[in-house]
Chains A and B, each alone.
Chain A
Amino acid sequence: MSPPQSLGLDVEILRRLSSDRLVRVLEDAPGAKDLIIDGDLMKMLDRIAGATLLRSHGVDKMYRLERVPPPVQSSQRVYLVRPSLLQLKILADHVHSDHAAHPDLHVHVVVVPRLVSWVTGLLEEEGLYGALTLHEFCPDFIPLDDDLLSLEMTSFFRDAFLEGDFSGCVDVARAINTLQGLFGQIPYVLAHGRAAKAVVNTLDLLNNQNSPKKTSQMPEISHLFIFDRDADYVTPLLTQLTYEGALDDHFGINAGVVEFPGEVVGQDAPRKVPLNSKDTIYDNIRNKHFASVSSYLITKAKEVNAKKEQAQNMTASQMKDFVANELRTLQSCHATLALHLRACESITKSVKQDFETQLTTEHGLVTGASNAGQARKFLKNCLARMQPLTDNLRLFCLYSLTQDGLSPKDYKQLASQMLAAHGHKHLITLNNLRQLNLLCATESSASSTGVNRDSSGTNIQGRLAQVTSLLPKKGQGWRAAAKRLRLIPDPDKTIDLHNPSDPSYVFNGAYTPVMAKVVGEALSVRGAFTQTLLDSLKVLPGTTISRAAPPGSPVGPHVALVVMMGGVTYTEVAALRLLAVTSGTRIIVASTSTINGDQLVSGVVHK
């Protein structure tokens, strides 16, 4: 299942670039120092630089940034923070309190990814101007795997799509620019959505500033796709069915690392396990449909056992050979197999009793096979049974999306039950979801709200909606889009879940993620994007930018970079991996972060 690896393009170089840059920042504070890190950056830092590297550049102790300042032990202290108000306030408190006791403590603040003017302003207001030295550290894409890059900007989705702050796009553009610097200007570009457009615009600005020499470089990446998360909300809302997706849903994968609880690893303490293609067994099962994973694991386990049994009948010299070469790999294989088997077991055990119903409902909603009444009933059941908030919200949103908006009566009833179950403060949450168009109530009382919407020139909410995501026009709801893009496969065609050939296998053949569909269509034609494809994109919110290489210029090998603004799910990654195999293209997926439905929804929940 692994995509063709023969095409070069070493993304690992990105990690080195980032770590070099980090080292440079650290060396700006020469000598011994303590490092205090924003919790949000911990995972990212792990991926960029190991503890030994940090140690070798003078880092003594590392702490997570918390309200209580850690004890002062060395004469220098480096804070690594995101520019967020709360963290900066805490930092300022630290500096004030430490300053009283240790007046000669030197404080460096490294802002990730950029030192923005309001941070300087805030620190000035706190009276810290001059008391600390400011730096910035702008990481590039972090390779979570050789085909998955992430910027680990977990708040991007909320910032951009809910709050209308697209500043993260600049960082994405910079990161893509670095890639282009390494691998040449990408000739074919297809971007759709507001954030995507902002990225392309910034990229153009950056290109203008670059020296024109680069254009002569032979491109090593032929296609660049940039999509906004709001082009496909359905995919993250659905329950993930690939093994990797299931792991993410159940245990949570952060920056490519999963933390298995004790029962899975067979120890008392939870253990962090990195998940990537270096682990060949994992590489084989990660994109498999969950249903076929355990049988595969069992077969594998039997093979391993058989090999071990063979060893029983070996001659001495054969045995020596076996111990020297194979035993170690067999043992580690064995350990990995056991781990994943236990993980499978744990997932199967913990899935909801009515998992089947849940899936049927979800897929019924998407394909339109089951009627809305059943889904509503199921949702009400879930609410009555006090399922977790995020689960209920996911289903609620999916219900609303697939019905192209709910009738006011429906909406009022469900919303009221939702608030009764989880508290009325989630009125804000519901409002946020409505702003994102994840929820939509077709207000029938046209005389009241309808008027407001029409004269949206004066209505901020309406305008915010314009800003954050362009409202789809009438008759262009999700269902129309799904039909136009042919996201719902023919129900009569059976999908082989074990040896899939169509990306829709990730949802039991009920739905194809938009990204996989569009990228697949685009890659099926060599050269420029077809007008049909561009036309069909019009059903998605936002506008399209497409660029094609001038005829005759070098195009390079078939390598595509797919960038998702606002988070990519492992399901989409799996679908694209399959696409990579079937289309003979190497596909590299890049995103602001990896995301799953719970993260998507809880990102906008009012705290």
Chain B
Amino acid sequence: MALISDWTQLGDDVFYRKHEVYSMDWGGGINLADFMVASAPYGGPLALTRDESRFTKTHQTGKPLIFIFSSSGKKISSFKIDPSAVYFVDKKWTSGFLLTLGWSRGEDLVCVQEDGAVLLYDMFGNYQHTFNMGQEAKDTHIQSSQVFTSYRETGVAVLTKSNRIFMVNNIHEPKTRKYPDLPGGTVNCWCVVREERHSNVLVSQGRDLLLLNHIDERPQALYPQWNEPGGSVVEMAVSSNSRHIALLSDSGKLWIGSSDIRIKYCEYDAKSQVKPRQLAWCGTGAVVLLWEVTLEVVSVNGEATSYYLDSSSHLAQEADGVRVVGSTCHDLLQKVPQVVVDTLGIGSMAPGALLLDASKRFQERSTQANDCLDMIKDSMEEAVNQCLQAAQHQYQPQAQKMLLRAALFGKSFIPEMNPEPCKKTIFTLRVLNAVRDHRVGLPLTWSQMEHLTLPVLLDRLVHRRFFPLALEIANFLKIPETDGTSRILAHWACFKVLQPSQKSDEHIAKEINSKLGYTPGISYTDIANRADQAGRKQLAIKLIEYECRAKEQVLVLMRLGEDQTALRRALQSGDTDLIYTVLCRLRQKLSSGDFLMLIRNFPVAQALHMRSCQDLDTEQLRDILVQEDDFLGQGLLRVKEAYNSSRADTRLAALQGAAELFRRAKHETHLQMTEEQIKLYRWQIRLEENQQKPYTDKSLHDTIHHLLLDGQIKEAEKLRTEFKISEKRYWWLRVVAHAQAGHWDELAALAKNKKNPIGFEPFVEVCLKTGNKLEAQKYASRVKEENKVSCLIKCGLLEEATKIAHEQRSASSLAEVLAACGPQHQALQSRLQQLLSDPSLKS
């Protein structure tokens, strides 16, 4: 059966399978033996460069050409490392000899040069950043280096020609660590062994095996248990999870054990004195040795098998297998997962195998299906799960379908079974099949996918610029917009703005907007920033138009130097704070004159600016008013200033200034009133000098009032004539002032004046106000007829009130008096009631 034809048994019930995942798109012309190859895990891209060490150096090329291919051999990019970009920083131009290529976790290409410089490029050959391994590495040069996966990140370790090891644990925070010195002598080989959060280095030197860590001061010698001790280790490999190690001795013996060398799993004689080209782990269960065209697989229990390849190849170690990249095809070698062995293995009686059988029989319409089902009726759920899991680990859609069909067939017998695992398997397999397509070239296995997680997969697709596919997947799996669609679109837009294009900026911006719309989670700000970073300012301006968060938009516009637009947008938003922010910045940026000219085009902004000036900067406010020829405004400002000052001359000067400005503004009322004020103020100053009393902050009425209180009737008279105060007002002033000061004689004298324009009600009122009922009574009888009764009542003259009311024959007046009667007026009350009963009264 085709499904198991590529299986090879290695020990009891342990199988390995090797199947082709791609035939390489790059054609057969590439001899991998001539190249230095670096492959990224999780089916990542391949980087190739001519291995200069294999050729005699004819001339110093300086700029090695690097090719990057997808796993399916599709060329992604090719570029030359241009050290000038790097060394410009140092102001020195040295050409580094490329020593090692490697890939970081984020799929950036890490290039280590002989002089200790480490350069990072993305897979499209765009330079990312650089760092170096320290002065010593630079001075003494590096003999070999390794790019390794450290705790959570990617690290670089180098061995200098002076036998020193330096390490950077995280290429994004390059901090160089020095490891203990090695004794002199040639290093055969070395590798980095990760242990928890630390990275140790295992070095084979001469016949010794030394472990270095950055805590101990000296190396620690290790002694693996060889059957025939005395050899030296020439090659070593650590498994992807860092738990296991394989050592190859010069005599061709392979030692496999735990990475701390304490436990030995097995020793195997490769029977070859020739050092293999590569030594790698296949998952955690086997070690693979690669010679020119021979591949030897040695399991941890010492069983071995060989494959013959048709071209020189490269091994790419994965967590659950090893990929063998040849010049024409790309194979995956992995241990067959146990569940697959159970389900598909020949003669297996596992429930899954039986269910698969039943499903097949059922499709053949054979009654034997029932027999098979009978056998597993108690373990149907397990059978379904086995089939599902087996399907997960199949690479061919055909096989996947067969197993899934079996699983669904089985599931139909358990209606209460949770459908989620089935659903998830089917959906994820579709995604996996899609990304495995050779146009995409991501040969992910199920377990790699589980480990990588879906968001990271989407990121990787986006990173490879497979935007439509990523979108499809996000939609297919119904990932929330903010995590899926909008994030992908935002990346697309950022990519789009970086692409050189014939189209106008306007067009590109529109194109982006039509795709993105206003999906939540899309930030036009980010996209515009990206465009700006790429030096496309106009495009950035066009893009930021689409930003709907006013604040972000305005801030970006200001950064782009589009101050007017920023101000306009801020004004549209109606957010005063934002407007102030823009104004504040403009003020710093422009000269005062330019600033004022600019904002006069924006009345709201100008109003706001003037408002802030009122509190903080009156001079600026005056500048604006002068600029606008606004004499009225200037005048008012002067008036305000006048009252802020308590010094007489300053105030007078300010008022005179204001009057002049009002004259120029042709504002007659303001002018007249200011002139009045000046006149009054002069009077008040004179009064103050004469009487040593404060007058200046008082109004005209108050001034007269106070003069009257002091009995200065003559001064008051003078003021009255000077300011043409009407009779009525003056009388009121006098009445109030006399009563308040208790000048009852003056009041009486005033009352005798025949020309009384206000009547006697005010007299009564003011007397009562000061609590003098007696004085009030004097005037109560002289008020107008209609007010008499109420005045008398207020003065407490109830008898008289009754009399008047009776004379007036007014029922309402009588009732008013009655209402005012207290318990002490028993007699009056009864009389009033009697009077009220008179029917002839006016109502």
Contacts and interface: CB of A to CB of B under 8 A. Distances in A.
A-B complex is real: yes
B572 to A, nearest CB: 8
Interface in A442-499: 445, 448-449, 452, 458-461, 463-464, 466-468
A460 to B, nearest CB: 4
B630 A449 contact: no
A385 B766 CA distance: 11
Contacts of B632: 452, 459, 461
Contacts of A211: 520
A468 B575 CA distance: 16
Interface string B608-634: 101110011000000011001110110
Interface stretch (A322-330, A422-430, A590-598): A422-430
Contacts of A386: 701, 732-733, 736
Interface stretch (B155-163, B432-440, B665-673, B823-831): B665-673
B633 A420 contact: no
B746 to A, nearest CB: 18
Interface in A400-427: 408, 411-412, 415-417, 419-425, 427
A467 B611 CA distance: 13
B674 interface: yes
A384 B732 contact: yes
A427 B574 contact: no
B574 A166 contact: yes
A155 interface: no
A212 to B, nearest CB: 8
B699 interface: yes
Contacts of B401: none
Contact of B629 (A114, A427, A458): A458
Interface string B652-677: 00000000000001111110111011
Contacts of A459: 628, 630, 632
Contacts of A464: 603, 607
A423 B548 CA distance: 51
B590 interface: no
A169 interface: yes
A424 B636 CA distance: 12
B503 to A, nearest CB: 28
A460 B630 contact: yes
A416 B673 contact: yes
B668 A461 contact: no
A284 interface: no
Contacts of B549: 209
B608 A164 contact: yes
Contacts of B699: 419-424
A116 B636 CA distance: 29
A353 interface: yes
Contacts of A353: 765
A383 B758 CA distance: 13
Nearest to B625: A460
A458 B628 contact: yes
A463 B608 CA distance: 13
A535 to B, nearest CB: 27
A408 B630 contact: no
A348 to B, nearest CB: 12
A24 interface: no
B262 interface: no
Contacts of A208: 518, 548
B contact face: mostly helix, strand, loop, or mixed = helix
Contacts of B758: 384
Contacts of B580: 116-118
B744 interface: no
Interface string B550-573: 100000000000000000000011
- Greatest chain A CB density within 10 A among B628, B665, B674, B699 is at B699
B576 A205 contact: no
A582 interface: no
A202 interface: yes
Interface string B218-259: 000000000000000000000000000000000000000000
B597 interface: no
Contacts of B584: 117-118, 121
B676 A165 contact: no
B574 A117 contact: no
A380 interface: yes
B808 interface: no
Contacts of A281: none
A606 B640 contact: yes
A165 B726 CA distance: 42
B577 interface: yes
Contacts of B680: 424
Interface in A363-392: 380-381, 383-386
Most chain A CB atoms below 10 A, which of B574, B629, B676, B702: B574
B651 to A, nearest CB: 11
Contacts of B697: 423
B744 to A, nearest CB: 20
A414 to B, nearest CB: 10
A116 to B, nearest CB: 4
A118 B612 contact: yes
A448 B670 CA distance: 13
Contact of B615 (A85, A169, A425, A606): A85
Given A118-B584, A421-B700, A424-B699, A466 B603 contact: yes
Contact of A164 (B581, B604, B633): B604
B729 interface: yes
A431 B665 CA distance: 14
A385 B732 contact: yes
Contact of A412 (B607, B672, B732): B672
A294 B550 CA distance: 56
A467 B669 contact: no
Contacts of A445: 666, 668
B698 interface: yes
Nearest to B655: A424
B263 interface: no
B3 interface: no
Contacts of A458: 628-630
B639 interface: yes
Contacts of B548: 205, 208-209
Interface string B540-552: 0000000011100
A583 interface: no
Contact of B668 (A198, A408, A421, A460): A408
B603 A463 contact: yes
A581 interface: no
B640 A428 contact: yes
A383 to B, nearest CB: 7
B677 A424 contact: yes
A370 B667 CA distance: 31
A170 interface: yes
Given A163-B607, A421-B700, A463-B603, 15 more contacts: A117-B577, A118-B577, A165-B576, A165-B608, A170-B574, A416-B672, A416-B673, A419-B699, A420-B676, A424-B673, A427-B674, A459-B630, A461-B630, A467-B607, A468-B607
Interface of A: 85, 114, 116-118, 121, 163-167, 169-170, 198, 201-202, 205, 208-209, 211, 353, 380-381, 383-386, 408, 411-412, 415-417, 419-425, 427-428, 431, 441, 445, 448-449, 452, 458-461, 463-464, 466-468, 606
Interface of B: 518, 520, 548-550, 572-577, 580-581, 584, 603-604, 606-608, 610-612, 615-616, 624-625, 628-630, 632-633, 636, 639-640, 643, 665-670, 672-674, 676-677, 680, 697-702, 723, 725-726, 728-729, 732-733, 736, 758, 762, 765
28 contacts: A117-B580, A118-B580, A121-B584, A163-B607, A163-B611, A164-B607, A165-B611, A166-B574, A169-B574, A170-B574, A170-B575, A202-B574, A209-B549, A380-B729, A381-B728, A384-B728, A420-B701, A421-B700, A423-B697, A423-B699, A425-B643, A431-B670, A452-B665, A458-B630, A459-B628, A460-B610, A461-B633, A466-B603
Q: 5 shortest A-B CB distances, which residue pairs?
A: A167-B576, A448-B666, A164-B607, A424-B677, A423-B699
